[in-house]
DNA sequence: TATATTTAAGACAAACTTGTCCCAAAATAA
DNA sequence: TTATTTTGGGACAAGTTTGTCTTAAATATA
């Protein structure tokens, strides 16, 4: 069961890499991240572009350029990243994918899934990059998967 | 968030269609199901072939042939179908996909996900085709999605 | 200005899922 | 036997996600 796409996972790992950097005043280069995290540079670039366009990151071109968080890591939550990279309706999903829901009575797993989904959304809405960052060592981010 | 693949959903809808048939002694033709459920005939054929090969269904070729459940609908559970069509390790999934789990301490969402995953597995393990079938009208199965 | 660095953006390719097509094999019926 | 029906199984095509490559735009430095 794949919950997040590669794009989301790569995006998250890059964000955590930025958080792990001590010097918050400097931009972190995408090239550096792609090499340290073993992620395709161009793919990562596009992922981070999406986050930049949606206001989660700030980018700067030229020598010593790169990207930086636009908010403190304490104020960026998993849900913010996921909603951008997976789509706004990521949490509107159906468990069985049977057609006609809403028009007729729900299937037996609907109530279960409604609760599970809400819990998942809440977990994502309350887990910040800062919280993730404190538990995930820099070494670990570098592993290939 | 997509939980099940098209293959799983199509497979489930076909099984529920079979369950909805009153006469349990007859084979249900794949052609009929594909037309009634608006699913590609050949795609559905391959999906059902997997279920047949894994012993969940019985097939019979020739005129009046088709497929039939090998067990009563009360004894076939969602988890049986999903494990065949999505793979045995469907429930072994990781939420964030960060590398190095097991070697290092788990990430902050790990405990939450462990519980959620177990609940999902339990829900699938205890929901039978019969239970699904009683709640899902035949009309509803025919909607395209 | 000229050059190097770095993100932005789009075209293109590889891999995976989904869907289509063709023919073989098994069973029925005439 | 011959024709028909139906599943079995492989090759192939379309669509999506993932990954690669090339060029443009912005910035810094000399
Ligand atoms: S009732 Fe809910 S969980 Fe069940 S198929 Fe419909 S939307 Fe999905
Ligand atoms: S700790 Fe658990 S949930 Fe977190 S990344 Fe690792 S396996 Fe996934």
Residue A36, pLDDT above cutoff 90: yes
pLDDT tier, B138 (very low <50, low <70, confident <90, very high otherwise)? confident
Residue at the smallest CA–C1' distance to nucleotide C5:
A63
Show the 3-state SS of A3-39: CCCHHHHHHHHHHHHHHHCCCCCCCECHHHHHHHCCC
pLDDT in tens, B99-116: 888 777 889 899 999 999
- Tell me, what's the pLDDT at B114? 96
pLDDT in tens, A60-86: 999 999 999 999 999 999 999 999 999
Residue A27, pLDDT above cutoff 90: yes
Q: Half-sphere exposure of residue A79, counting CA atoms within 13 Å on the CB side?
A: 15
Residue A139, pLDDT above cutoff 80: no
Distance between CA atoms of B45 and B33, rounded to whole angstroms?
Answer: 10
Residue A72: partners with Cβ closer than 8 Å, 6 or more residues away: A130
Residue A122, pLDDT above cutoff 70: yes
Ligand 1 within 6 A of CB of A109:
yes
Q: What is the CA radius of gyration of chain B?
A: 17
| The residue to which tokens 């964000």 are assigned | A15
Mean pLDDT across A28-51:
97
Residues with CB under 7 A from strand C: A 27-31, 42, 45-46, 48-49, 52-53, 59-67; B 5-7, 10, 40, 42-43, 46, 60-65
Contact A140 B112 (CB under 8 A): no
Please state the φ and ψ torsions of residue A104, each to the nearest 5 degrees. Answer: -120, -175
**B31 C-alpha to center of ligand 1: Å?**
26
pLDDT in tens, B10-29: 999 999 999 999 788 899 99
Residue A104, pLDDT above cutoff 70: no
| More confident position, B139 or A55 | A55
- Tell me, what's the pLDDT at B145? 57
Contact B100 A1 (CB under 8 A): no
C-alpha distances (whole Å) from B27 to each of B33, B57, B84 are 11, 10, 22
Distance between CA atoms of A79 and A127, rounded to whole angstroms?
Answer: 8
- Tell me, what's the pLDDT at A68? 98
Alpha helices in A26-89 (DSSP H): 30-36, 41-53, 78-86
Residue A3: partners with Cβ closer than 8 Å, 6 or more residues away: B1, B93, B94, B95, B97
C-alpha distances (whole Å) from B86 to each of A107, B23, B76, B128 are 21, 30, 16, 17
Please state the φ and ψ torsions of residue B8, each to the nearest 5 degrees. Answer: -65, -45
Ligand 1 within 6 A of CB of A117:
no
pLDDT in tens, A88-100: 999 999 999 888 7
Beta bridge partners of A58: A68
Contact B99 A123 (CB under 8 A): no
- Tell me, what's the pLDDT at A82? 98
- Tell me, what's the pLDDT at B85? 98
Taking a C-beta distance cutoff of 8 angstroms, is the pair B65, B27 a contact? yes
Residue B143, pLDDT above cutoff 80: no
Neighbours of B46 (CB within 10 A): 11
pLDDT in tens, B38-81: 999 999 999 999 999 999 999 999 999 999 999 999 999 999 99
pLDDT tier, A144 (very low <50, low <70, confident <90, very high otherwise)? low
pLDDT tier, A103 (very low <50, low <70, confident <90, very high otherwise)? low
Taking a C-beta distance cutoff of 8 angstroms, is the pair A29, A65 a contact? yes
Distance between CA atoms of B101 and B143, rounded to whole angstroms?
Answer: 42
- Tell me, what's the pLDDT at B24? 80
Domains of chain B: 6-139 (1.10.10.10)
Note the pTM of the prediction, 2 decimals.
0.94
Distance between CA atoms of B130 and B85, rounded to whole angstroms?
Answer: 19
Mean pLDDT across B132-141:
83
Taking a C-beta distance cutoff of 8 angstroms, is the pair B13, B141 a contact? yes
């Amino acid at each position: 069961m794949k919950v997040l796409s590669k794009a989301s996972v790569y995006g998250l790992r890059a964000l955590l890499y930025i958080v792990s950097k001590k010097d918050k005043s400097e931009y972190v280069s995408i090239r550096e991240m792609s090499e340290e995290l073993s992620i395709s540079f161009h793919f990562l670039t596009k992922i981070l572009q999406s986050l930049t366009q949606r206001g989660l990151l700030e980018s700067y071109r030229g020598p010593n350029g790169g990207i930086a968080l636009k908010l403190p890591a304490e104020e960026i939550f998993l849900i913010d990243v996921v909603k951008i990279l997976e789509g706004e309706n990521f949490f509107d999903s159906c468990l069985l994918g049977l057609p006609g829901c809403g028009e007729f009575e729900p299937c037996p797993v609907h109530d279960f899934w409604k609760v599970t989904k809400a819990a998942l959304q809440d977990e994502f809405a309350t887990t910040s990059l800062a919280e993730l960052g404190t538990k995930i060592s820099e070494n670990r981010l570098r592993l290939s998967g």
